[in-house]
Amino acid sequence: MKFLFIFSLISLLLPVWAQSGDYPGRATYPKVQVYETSQLNREFDNVIVVDVRSAFEFNTLHINNAINIPLNSKKFTAQVSALQNDGKPVIFYCNGHSCYKSYKAAKKARRAKITNIFAYDSGIFDWAKAHPEKAVLLGSTPVDTSRLLSKDDLKKYLLKPEEFTANIDDNTVILDIREPSQRGLIELFPYRQDNISMDEQKKLSKFLKGVKKSGKSLLVYDEAGKQVRWLQYYLEDNGIADYFFMAGGVKQFFKSLTN
């Protein structure tokens, strides 16, 4: 009997454990109520969807009719509060299962006494694959899902910091895409690199055209290796094939110096 009881208990808990493993943020933020993909699709016209990622990420790929309010915006709570005039639920989303921004947004809103808020923690990639007709990629909808870049697509263009550095020569162009607040006074390759954050889209577009025309190889780095995945869409869209990213960004660069 004891064995049967334990077996039954494990059977009941397995789905919960599996779900928690697939969505690690749910255990960290147990008070945040979540929307599943099917529920969001059913109620799509009766909710307000808020993208809490950066403007660059939003402009690259987002849910149809979503409103972009970056989590780190100084006006975040005021802008979210203003959305609740019609009483619709507010659904926050970010990049997916291991991205915690949607939970943090819900928690931040709750602290500001904003109610009827939820997180769609499956994120933009699950949504675009499930409902390409309700997503926008580089200004176009429906999304051609074959153009969605996978982690493997990114890995092919990653270089360890030491490999990245070894590839620098007269036939390469180096681009630092960190925000000014991230960059501060630290440049990894002073006098050799260009500094353009991803929100400077006109400047970035002009720069990429120049790189393509020059025929040189493009080497790009960011703060922690997470922003480059979004730049990759623009490189591919602009027909730039000769490029590489620094794996782990600046943080990994300095770690490699101490190993």
Q: Is the pLDDT of residue 13 over 70?
A: no
Of the ranges 8-12, 146-150, 202-206, 212-216, which one carries the lowest mean pLDDT score?
8-12
% of the chain with per-residue pLDDT over 90: 83
Please give the full DSSP string across 231-254, using - where no structure is assigned: HHHHHHHTT--SEEEETTHHHHHH
Q: What pLDDT score does 138 carry?
A: 95
CATH architecture assigned to 23-143: 3-Layer(aba) Sandwich (3.40)
Among 19-23, 140-144, 181-185, 224-228, name the one with the lowest average pLDDT: 19-23
Per-residue pLDDT reduced to its tens digit, 173-195: 999 999 988 888 889 999 999 99
Which stretches of 96-194 are DSSP H helices?
101-111, 123-130, 151-155, 161-166, 180-183
* Torsion over CA: 165, 171, 177, 180 (sign): positive
How does residue 21 score in pLDDT terms, banded at 50, 70 and 90? low
What are the boundaries of each domain within the chain?
23-143, 151-258
Q: Is 65 helix (H, G, I), strand (E, B) or coil?
A: coil
| Confidence at residue 136, expressed as pLDDT on a 0 to 100 scale | 98
Within 10 A of 158 (CB to CB), how many other CB atoms are there? 15
On the question of pLDDT at 10 being above 80, the answer is: no
Each residue's pLDDT tens digit, 118-176 = 999 999 999 999 999 999 999 999 999 999 999 999 999 999 999 999 999 999 999 99
Name the pTM for this structure.
0.84
Res. 29 pLDDT band, cuts 50 70 90: very high
Return the pLDDT at 15. 42
Which one is predicted more confidently, 7 or 160? 160
Q: Tell me whether domains 23-143 and 151-258 share a fold.
A: yes
- Mean pLDDT, to the nearest integer, of 45-69? 96
Q: Is the pLDDT reported for residue 107 higher than 60?
A: yes
Q: What is the rounded distance in angstroms from the CA atom of residue 62 to the CA atom of residue 193?
A: 31
For residues 200 and 181, give the distance between their C-alpha atoms in angstroms, rounded to a whole number. Answer: 14
The model's confidence at residue 87, banded by pLDDT at 50, 70 and 90, is confident
- Domain 151-258: state its class: alpha beta
The arithmetic mean of pLDDT across residues 209-229, rounded, is 96
- For the chain, what's the residue count? 259
The secondary structure of residue 191, as a DSSP letter, is T
| E-state strands within the chain | 48-51, 61-63, 67-68, 90-93, 117-120, 135-137, 158-159, 172-176, 193-195, 217-221, 243-246
CA distance 148 to 128: 9
